[in-house]
Amino acid sequence: MPDFSNLKSKKVLVSGGAGFIGSNLCEALLQHGANVTCLDNFATGKRENIEPFFSNPEFTLIEGDIRDVETCRKACENQDFVLHQAALGSVPRSINDPITSNEVNVGGFLKMLVAAKDAGVTRFVYAASSSTYGDSESLPKVEDVIGKPLSPYAITKYVDELYADVFKRTYDFDTIGLRYFNVFGRRQDPNGAYAAVIPKFVMKLMANESPVINGGGEYSRDFTYIDNVVLMNLLALTSDNPEAQNEVYNTAFGERTTLNDLVKYLKEYLSEFDPRIADVEVKYGDYRKGDVPHSLASIDKAKILLNYNPQFSMKEGLKEAVTWYWNNLK
């Protein structure tokens, strides 16, 4: 891990800080001596994710919604940096309710941008998404080649990138966007209709029940362990390379895994805790609307401009994640 001692005593706002990724960012920032403010409305974030930080005098919680501009202004006051993670994730959720996804992901993003700009925040790093690549079939995905969006969620995340670009051109406000690729790891919620595939499969297997794969299982993803994502965020916050500013970056490991292989690895790692899991059968369902068949990131741009060197391969991260789930949710 690089030296992030320059974060010491910096004031950092993490919107969506009680969520899966946000809480891991809060934890890392506190470990590096930053003064952290978490803004969350607990729509998808969880209080238990941040409870360990409540006793830390460098941690502040603001309970509020990014759709309210005054809340955004209050949260951005006197902040040096913003890590904007607050959003309504999930392609299926956006298909079922495109209006709310747009209100949060576009309207809330814009209000955070305005509040941060007006407050004099010096760096604004935001969660973008690999869904922006849409129907582009080229692999690996490179940042300047995208297709047409395949879901309302993808549209919202692409609009955020457009707004960030305009804020640089119009207001000279610096941003960095991080296109997350299928992030997984500790604290990722396994419950609910829109739970991500890895924690959902893990919970099924731990209960000795059959996970259901959408389609034939040959769709592939660049699954990215949470510690790689934390590293990218900290690099984006602290980079002194002027060429690195006002860009978007793939945030991934740069390796793709099919869903069939994913389940094979999960069964292998979980059966070390319960041998019966090795014999659990897999079921197959229908393909899901809005799903991209294959996803694989080029991380060359991040390596060159941000000195990004991911620490965990997918399989290394999966072992860590499986152990965390077994110890915390079994």
Q: Which of 264, 183, 194 is nearest to 221 (CA)?
A: 183
What pLDDT does residue 100 have? 97
Q: What is the pTM of this model?
A: 0.95
Tokens of 125: 């790093």
Rg (CA), the chain: 19
The reported pLDDT for the residue numbered 91 is: 86
Sequence-separated (6 or more) residues with CB below 8 Å from residue 180: 21, 127, 128, 129, 130, 224, 229, 251, 252
Angle at 44 between CA 41 and CA 47, to 5 degrees: 65
Question: What's the distance, CA 227 to chain centroid?
Answer: 11
The tokens of 233 are what?
A: 């965020």
pLDDT value of residue 24: 98
Helices 69-76 and 109-119: crossing angle in degrees, nearest 10, is 40
Contacts of 82 (CB under 8 A, 6+ apart): 12, 13, 14, 15, 76, 112, 116, 121, 123, 124, 125, 126
Determine the Cα–Cα distance for residues 266 and 288; give it in Å rounded to an integer.
Answer: 22
Strand partners, 84: 15, 126
Amino acid in the structure at residue 9: S
CA distance 175 to 4: 19
Decide: 90 and 188 in contact? Cβ < 8 Å. Answer: no
pLDDT (tens, 9 = 90+) of the chain, 330 residues, equals 788 999 999 999 999 999 999 999 999 999 999 999 999 999 999 999 999 999 999 999 999 999 999 999 999 999 999 999 999 988 889 999 999 999 999 999 999 999 999 999 999 999 999 999 999 989 999 999 999 999 999 999 999 999 999 999 999 999 999 999 999 999 998 887 667 899 999 999 999 999 999 888 999 999 999 999 999 999 999 999 999 999 999 999 999 999 999 999 999 999 999 999 999 999 998 887 767 788 899 999 999 999 999 999 999 999 999 999 999 987
Residue 286 DSSP code:
P
Domains and CATH numbers, the chain: 9-187+225-254+298-313 (3.40.50.720)
Query: Can you give the pLDDT at residue 101?
Result: 97
Active-site entry in 126, 153, 180, 269 = 153
Question: What length is written for the chain?
Answer: 330
The pLDDT of residue 290 is 67
**In the annotation, is 163 catalytic?**
no
Please name which of 119, 104, 113, 41 lies closest in space to residue 74, comparing C-alpha atoms. Answer: 119
Q: How many CB atoms lie within 10 A of CB 135?
A: 12
Predicted confidence at residue 294, as pLDDT, reads 87
In angstroms, the first-to-last Cα distance of the chain is 30
User: What is the distance between the alpha carbons of residues 62 and 33, in angstroms, rounded to a whole number?
Assistant: 20
Per-residue pLDDT at 90: 86
How far apart, in whole angstroms, are the C-alpha atoms of residue 183 and residue 20?
9
Tokens of 189: 């919620």
Q: Is 156 helix (H, G, I), strand (E, B) or coil?
A: helix
| Residue 71: CB atoms within 10 Å | 21
